[in-house]
Chains A and B, each alone.
Chain A
Amino acid sequence: MAEGTPKRCVWQAGGIVLRYLLLLTAFYVYVFVAVDTRLIYDRYVPASMFFSRTWETFKGMADETGGLVNYAAGALHQYYCYGWLGALILTLVAAALAAGIDLWLPVRSRSWLRLLSFVPALGLLVAANYYDLRLKEAGGPLLYALGLLLVLVAANIHAHLPSRRLQIRIAVGLILAALVYHAGGWVYGVTYGSGATEHNTYVPGPLLILVGLIVIREIWTRRSAFATTAAPRKKPAGLSGLAVVGVWLLQLAVLGGAGAITAYATQCPGLKASFRLDYCRHEGLWDDFLKEARQITLEQFASIARARPLDAICLNSDVNFALYNEGLLLDEMFKFPQARGSLLLVDRRGRTQDFVRVEIDRYSDLFFELGRVNAAEHAAHEMLQVDGDRPSTLRLLAEINIVKDQKPAAQTFLGYLRGLHNSPRDECWAAHMLDHYHRHGEFPLDERLRRIRAVNLRDDYIPHNPTVRDDLERLLKSNPNNRMAFEYLVADCLLDHPMRGLPVLVRHLDGFKTLGYKKLPRHVQEALLYYSLQPGTTVSRDQFAVDLDVRRCFERLLRTDSLMRQKGKTARDFLTALALDPEFVKTYYWYAFSEFAPSKGAGR
């Protein structure tokens, strides 16, 4: 086969297409499985929620310099909320960038220079691996990629103009430059300085790159033409079919290898775990949340608590909420570090404006699930003022009004959410709810909303410095079947000083029967065993069933205690001995001893 024959061209084209298909399929699978664009969307909701995908926004932005690229990036970014679609968008953009460079490069199809066309795709991969960190503009790296894509389209139009007349090429170049400037504007930003002195300087990146590409291509083409005219080049000897396949495979291996190395080297597991925890919390994927949380070691927890106490408090609260939702709160809460104030986020140490924001965000969810619907409404409205039209807040407000059977208000929130056009998934939900309401005069109530409506607090009071326990006891008084209030009350008792919390726990033991527990949860058994030893208590070990492993653990504890006493060891030694046993560290005993009486005999 001689180079340039039709058959050879078909093979070459087929080879290129196949290379694209293989590489981009790998790209898609990686982004879909390993990156998950939903995490990017979830993290940058505050940036993207101000963008509305409406015709009015488009018209407004089309008039602005750079508005079109901004619009496209903002609109496409919002579809990141669907993992498969986000990965597809990134893949298609990567493919378009590669194709744009491929078409523009004035080299032979087999040239190694062609591998450069995949460089922007690798850039997108790196940005995705970093979860668009430091590119917080709505659209993030998409904005940059689409700006480059625009440039490549214009550069290719110019490169493939049929006319070689310089005047025509300059005129077309100027028109394209004007169009690119208008559509791409000042996309590329340079950040310098740090902290308070951080500044962003934007440059008309697309225009500059276009001018550069046009000039390079022109010089290249004209020099090649001149060189060909001056000294006609010898036609290179054609490679054999096997050699062509070999080169193709080699190039594919180089590209695949570069991609794999880039993907591996730029992975950020810590970042992903943090984003994923947030995402699972927002989406109520509690099982997945706990899977992520269980990956965090006690040392990492301690390190977070030292470096970022507020994050630790919030994480603690989220873990407890996840455990409750999975029915594991009273069985596994001490497998995670605990602090009393973080159960319902009442620990106000180190309060900052940011903490208020993260706090009220969680308040609204926690209170809603607890049945303190008015308190949730209050917190959600604060969020609306502080944080703007976050779709999740509007969704919660709609749900709150549905639970309170305030249909017109729910309709208003749903209509507003739908009309914002800033979150495709929430819009769909709002449209579905409104459609149901218009057809049936009622909003559909799922299991969760029905349960919350059932436990909604009915007796009014105005809280004024109440304790968590007061609030939970009021909820239980209003509805003894409020399982969350009950479990949180028991958890609060367990987290309190044993001499204050456990008597209250004993008072509420009947609740386990009322709520249909088959047996007492593990940590409750531990606490009661411990409490039964205390002088003056009315609880004896025969009054409740104890699992075998709980009893064994307790007996081991007593033996250790007795041994330490015989040896005349201090409370600190006792704690050290407990800490060495991984089973003890996950029990109520460890929490109670280490938290309340480490220097006074470890509660013995």
Chain B
Amino acid sequence: MKARRWWTAVVVVGAVALGGVAVASVVAHLPPSVGDCVEAGRRPAISPDYAGVVMPPNIAPLNFVVKELGSAYLVKVRGDGEPQFQVYGKSSSIVLPPEKWRRLLDGKPKAVHFDVFVKGEDGRWVRYETVSAAVAPEKIDPYLFYRKIKPMYNSWGPITWHQRNIETFQEDCLLDNAKMDDRKGCMNCHAFYENRPDMMVVQIRGPHGGMLMFKDGKLEKLETRTPRNKAPASVGSWHPSGRLAAFSINKVVQVFHMAGSEVRDVIDMNSDLIIYSVDDKAVTSTPRITQPEFLEAFPQWSTDGKYLYFCRAPKYWTDNDAMPLDQFRDVRYSLMRISYDIDTGQWGDVETVLSAEKMGMSITEPRFSPDGRWCVMCLCSYSYQGSFKADADLYILDTASGECRPMECNSDQSESWHSWSSNGRWLAFSSRRRDGQFLKTYFSYVDETGKSHKPLLLPQEDPTDHDYTILAFHLPELVKGPMPVGARDILNVIQESELVTGDAMTGASPRAAGSAAPGAYKTPGGDKR
């Protein structure tokens, strides 16, 4: 009997304690009353800074960190009307509930407003001015592909290739070089046909290297090198017909500055363009885009497929020069184009679209909007790669008027590697504006006049992620959906399958009338080098 009474007492005391804890927990999480709060008279410092951005209506919750000292934080979120929901907690990281966020955006508000309250050390609540973000009517492509890597100098360690659903926080790793046999492979330069995930290429380097192409539901590893062209393909662009893709092949060296904020710099020692014919897997080119006295890079087909645009700079050194340290600061690329008839395989003459002399800067990375109206480029003081230069900015060229101007979404740090969404209203690009070191992906709304609006940083579930990660997001590409194949299939094809080789010298289907016969094509690395 005595033992039973003891047991009863223990159970009762336990139950009361548990109940007390539960009630205290509920009470602690109840949103407080902030009726008699003090007005701060300014906007709160939040990270990422979403004030004044234009966001897509299908974006994941814009979680953020309130960078104001306090003991508790309350954020009321509303659309055009009354507050829809609020988030309260002791942490300055504001994580918005995805379902409520989705419901809010489903109401098609013109803007989303965040009212931020912070409880000060004196126990009083401080109310800050409302942070508002406009909501664009047009959606952004729901997927973003990118490569994640720590800042790379000579060596490289872990590299991963990802697809991210930007309507949620779902991120899938499609390829991880740590899972490759040699743990050293590299992957880069993906190119999607009209923002489609089911037709794309990605370049793989290392012992299992090759060009991975996904097309017609089939994944293949293709050879782009020929006996006369030893360098693998890199940056590419699909022809609108889907039958061809143009690539640059580069011999690039890195050099290192002994003073200044950015240590790295890149010299494009030699580069040319090649055309890959998808049907017969042949690599061809024409002497007009493989001229020995020029560096040719960044091919980009016009949206009607009649022109191949590319960037070209005079080569101030010979192939025997080891390191042109005196001349590389003079290298500025101009925007060029060459006409092409896919039916006859005939190339026209090379013409200058925008000269480096006129702009006073090096023009790289041209990308056309899907309607062909706009061409966005990266311009910097010199060099092949704007991402290493703080003065690199995005410029927009109006193909109708020929006017070229800097975009409004630029910052005082580098902007580069941009990609259009399939509806031509969103531009994803890389910028170092956050800390000057690590490339992050931003989205900017581009309206019908070509004006870009304040960009927003790719949202993360944990808003402190961007503050405290040393991974750079490379080559962001907006895509309409996820890859139809999984990581395991991709890895299998890379490691297990043989390189598929076409007859590079004789099977050139897009024969260029203005050039030599296929068998005598000057493939880069052959006659030229």
Contact = CB atoms under 8 A, between A and B. Distances in A.
B258 A461 contact: yes
A419 B255 CA distance: 32
21 contacts: A372-B258, A374-B257, A377-B263, A381-B263, A384-B470, A385-B150, A385-B153, A406-B435, A409-B438, A412-B467, A412-B468, A416-B470, A419-B468, A438-B69, A456-B259, A457-B258, A460-B257, A460-B259, A462-B256, A463-B258, A464-B323
Contacts of A377: 263
Interface residues of B, number: 31
A419 B434 CA distance: 19
A522 B469 CA distance: 50
Contacts of B25: none
Contacts of A463: 256, 258
A94 B322 CA distance: 62
B206 interface: no
Given A385-B157, A409-B435, A374 B469 contact: no
A388 interface: yes
A364 to B, nearest CB: 12
B88 to A, nearest CB: 22
Contacts of A409: 435-438
Give me the 9 closest cross-chain CB pairs, A-B, nearest first: A415-B468, A408-B435, A460-B259, A385-B157, A409-B437, A385-B155, A409-B435, A374-B263, A381-B153
A61 B470 CA distance: 25
Contacts of B256: 374-375, 378, 462-463
B258 A415 contact: no
B258 A375 contact: yes
A457 B261 CA distance: 12
B154 interface: yes
B400 interface: no
Interface string B243-283: 00000000000011111110101000000000000000000
A474 B434 CA distance: 33
Contacts of A375: 256, 258
A382 interface: yes
B348 interface: no
A588 interface: no
Contacts of B261: 404, 406
Interface string B462-484: 00100111100000000000000
Contacts of A381: 150-153, 263
A587 interface: no
A320 interface: no
A386 B438 CA distance: 19
Contacts of A406: 261, 435-437
Interface string B126-167: 000000000000000000000000111111110000000000
Nearest to A380: B153
Interface of B: 69, 150-157, 255-261, 263, 265, 322-323, 325, 434-438, 464, 467-470
Interface residues of A, number: 35
A238 B156 CA distance: 74
Interface of A: 372, 374-375, 377-378, 381-382, 384-386, 388, 394, 401, 404, 406, 408-409, 411-413, 415-416, 418-419, 438, 456-464, 474
A412 B438 contact: yes
Contacts, number: 94
Contact of B157 (A388, A394, A460, A461): A388
A119 to B, nearest CB: 41
B263 A382 contact: no
A438 B92 CA distance: 14
A388 B183 CA distance: 13
B157 A378 contact: no
A412 B325 contact: no
Most A CB contacts (10 A, CB to CB) among B69, B152, B256 go to B256
A457 B151 contact: no
B259 A459 contact: yes
A317 B260 CA distance: 28
Contact of A374 (B154, B258, B435): B258
B260 A412 contact: no
A463 B256 CA distance: 7
Contacts of A404: 261
A412 B467 CA distance: 6
B29 to A, nearest CB: 20
Nearest to A394: B470
Contacts of B467: 411-412, 415
A247 to B, nearest CB: 42
Given A385-B155, A416-B468, A464-B323, 9 more contacts: A372-B258, A374-B259, A375-B258, A381-B151, A408-B435, A409-B438, A412-B470, A418-B468, A461-B258
B325 A384 contact: no
A464 B325 contact: yes
Nearest to A404: B261
A586 B366 CA distance: 66
Contacts of A408: 434-437
Contact of B258 (A384, A401, A418, A462): A462
B501 to A, nearest CB: 32
Nearest to B153: A381
